[in-house]
């Protein structure tokens, strides 16, 4: 086909519509699953001592220091670790690296909304399987020929975490494809499958610095797997962008990993605030799914989620509402500080 117009060659991709990010003073932002606490003071200190002269040079393409640190942190070898420009880039590159079958890849119908987007971007066929009536993933759905499997665990926006045995069942029944387990929220009470990479050479576990480590602003994600999978990830990365994690981001991510006590303190604080919020919401007539994440997924016994969303927004409290089948009467609410959640409860008390 000879084109008649340069527009004929544009990518046939539907624009992805992300959640609103309005800017207003006094906004309580509980819509993006960001961490309400700043990163470790060690991160601030590292940022203050950046050597300007080093910025003229390209970052280390292999990100050795950060990869060494992550390997050490998780008790792995460096050959089991890969880092990228946020876990979104890591996942996108993993789709390109491992999902090249003619069979569709499989993932749940209600999960991270970017999976179909990457499938379109890389022209990967996919099929989705419905969560059950309790919004749980049915492992049996993934016992069938497919081109790969992606499981978010804990899942989003449901907040529900599955135990390692569940992941093991999916792995045992999918030895002929790569299984990606996206653990963006695992630090808030989930069960990590990271140790299973020693046992399953087809398992890739993806982590992010954007949630539990309060570093969404610097874009660092990582994945862990058998050295063979990591080698393919490196080949694919080096075929797209050799230096995706910049010099400063690498330095600040290392500083974060160097402060385990701060990390566990804020994670613990968020879990405590979450449990208190769930109890307070229960007294107001909310039913909340059991969360292993830094957000909750909740529905009210009589007032529609959309109405609650609009009311909260008027009170400058932003939560996430999905106008979609099955979850249209639920709200996804990020766990903020105790004070922010008190403001949320007070606003809801005025409505209910």
Residues 324-343 that bind its own copies (CB under 8 A): none
Q: Does 1 bind its own copies (CB under 8 A)?
A: yes
24 versus 57: smaller Cβ distance to its own copies: 57
Instruction: List the beta bridge partners of residue 318.
Output: 29
Q: Does 295 bind its own copies (CB under 8 A)?
A: no
Q: Does 61 bind its own copies (CB under 8 A)?
A: yes
Q: Does 298 bind its own copies (CB under 8 A)?
A: no
Residue appearing with tokens 């590159």: 93
- Other Cβ atoms less than 10 A from the Cβ of 296: the count is 26
Query: In whole angstroms, what separates CA 349 from the centre of its chain?
Result: 31
Query: In whole angstroms, what separates CA 22 from the centre of its chain?
Result: 21
DSSP state letters, 316-331:
TEE-EE--STTTTT-E
Residue appearing with tokens 């069960």: 191
Among 138, 235, 264, 272, binds its own copies (CB under 8 A): 235
DSSP-derived secondary structure letter, 301: S
Residues of this chain, 175-204, that bind its own copies according to CB under 8 A: 175-178, 201-202
- Other Cβ atoms less than 10 A from the Cβ of 329: the count is 15
Q: Does 22 bind its own copies (CB under 8 A)?
A: no
Q: How far apart are CA 99 and CA 15, in angstroms?
A: 22
Q: Does 15 bind its own copies (CB under 8 A)?
A: yes
Residues of this chain, 97-126, that bind its own copies according to CB under 8 A: 97-103, 117-118, 120-121
DSSP-derived secondary structure letter, 140: G
Give the β-pairing of 179-182 and 203-208.
parallel
Q: Does 268 bind its own copies (CB under 8 A)?
A: no
60 versus 276: smaller Cβ distance to its own copies: 60
159 versus 210: smaller Cβ distance to its own copies: 210
Applying CB under 8 A, which part among 154-162, 244-252, 290-298, 308-316 lies near its own copies?
A: 244-252
Q: Contact, 73 vs 65, CB < 8 A?
A: no
32 versus 128: smaller Cβ distance to its own copies: 32
Residues of this chain, 122-161, that bind its own copies according to CB under 8 A: 145, 147-148
Q: How far is the CB of 302 from its own copies (least distance, A)?
A: 34
Q: Does 173 bind its own copies (CB under 8 A)?
A: no
Q: Does 242 bind its own copies (CB under 8 A)?
A: yes
Among 74, 76, 83, 88, binds its own copies (CB under 8 A): 88
Q: Does 302 bind its own copies (CB under 8 A)?
A: no
Phi, psi of 102 (to 5 degrees): -80, -15
Instruction: List the beta bridge partners of residue 287.
Output: 299
Applying CB under 8 A, which part among 66-74, 75-83, 233-241, 279-287 lies near its own copies?
A: 233-241
Q: Does 216 bind its own copies (CB under 8 A)?
A: yes
**Those residues with Cβ within 8 angstroms of residue 153's Cβ, 6 or more apart along the chain or in another chain:** 161, 162, 166, 167, 181, 182, 183, 186, 190, 191, 193
145 versus 285: smaller Cβ distance to its own copies: 145
Residues of this chain, 36-55, that bind its own copies according to CB under 8 A: 36-39, 41, 43-44, 47-48, 50, 52-55
Q: Does 238 bind its own copies (CB under 8 A)?
A: yes
Measured CA to CA in angstroms, residue 313 lies from 45, 78, 317, 322 at distances of: 36, 46, 5, 15
**Those residues with Cβ within 8 angstroms of residue 171's Cβ, 6 or more apart along the chain or in another chain:** 179, 196, 200, 202, 203
Among 77, 125, 195, 239, binds its own copies (CB under 8 A): 239
């Amino acid at each position: 086909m000879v084109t008649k117009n340069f527009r004929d060659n544009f990518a046939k991709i539907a624009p992805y519509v992300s959640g609103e990010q309005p800017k207003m003073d006094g906004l309580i932002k509980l819509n993006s699953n960001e961490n309400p606490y700043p990163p470790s003071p060690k991160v601030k200190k590292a940022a203050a001592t950046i050597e300007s002269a080093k910025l003229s040079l390209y970052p280390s393409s292999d990100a050795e220091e950060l990869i060494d640190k992550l390997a050490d942190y998780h008790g792995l070898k460096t050959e089991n670790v890969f880092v990228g420009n946020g876990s979104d880039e890591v996942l996108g590159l993993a789709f390109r690296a491992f999902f090249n079958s003619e069979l569709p890849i499989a993932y749940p119908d209600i999960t991270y909304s970017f999976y179909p987007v990457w499938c379109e971007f890389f022209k990967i066929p996919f099929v989705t399987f419905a969560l059950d009536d309790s919004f749980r993933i049915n492992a049996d759905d993934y016992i069938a020929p497919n081109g790969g499997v992606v499981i978010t665990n804990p899942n989003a926006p449901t907040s529900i975490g599955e135990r390692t045995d569940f992941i093991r069942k999916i792995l045992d029944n999918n030895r002929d494809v790569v299984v990606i387990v996206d653990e963006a929220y695992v630090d808030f009470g989930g069960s990590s499958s990271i140790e299973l990479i020693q046992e399953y050479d087809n398992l890739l576990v993806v982590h992010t610095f954007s949630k539990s480590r309060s570093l969404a602003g610097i874009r660092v994600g990582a994945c862990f797997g058998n050295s063979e999978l990591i080698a393919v990830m490196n080949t694919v990365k080096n075929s797209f962008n050799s230096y995706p994690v910049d010099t400063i981001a690498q330095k600040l991510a290392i500083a974060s990993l160097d402060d385990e006590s701060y990390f566990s303190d804020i994670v613990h604080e968020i879990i405590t605030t979450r449990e208190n919020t769930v109890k307070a919401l229960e007294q107001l007539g909310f039913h909340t799914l059991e969360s292993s994440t830094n957000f909750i997924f909740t529905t009210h016994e009589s007032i529609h989620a959309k109405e609650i969303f609009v009311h909260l927004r008027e009170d400058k409290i932003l939560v996430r509402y999905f106008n979609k089948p099955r979850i249209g009467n639920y709200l996804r609410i990020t766990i903020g500080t105790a004070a922010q959640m008190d403001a949320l409860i007070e606003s809801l008390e005025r409505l209910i």
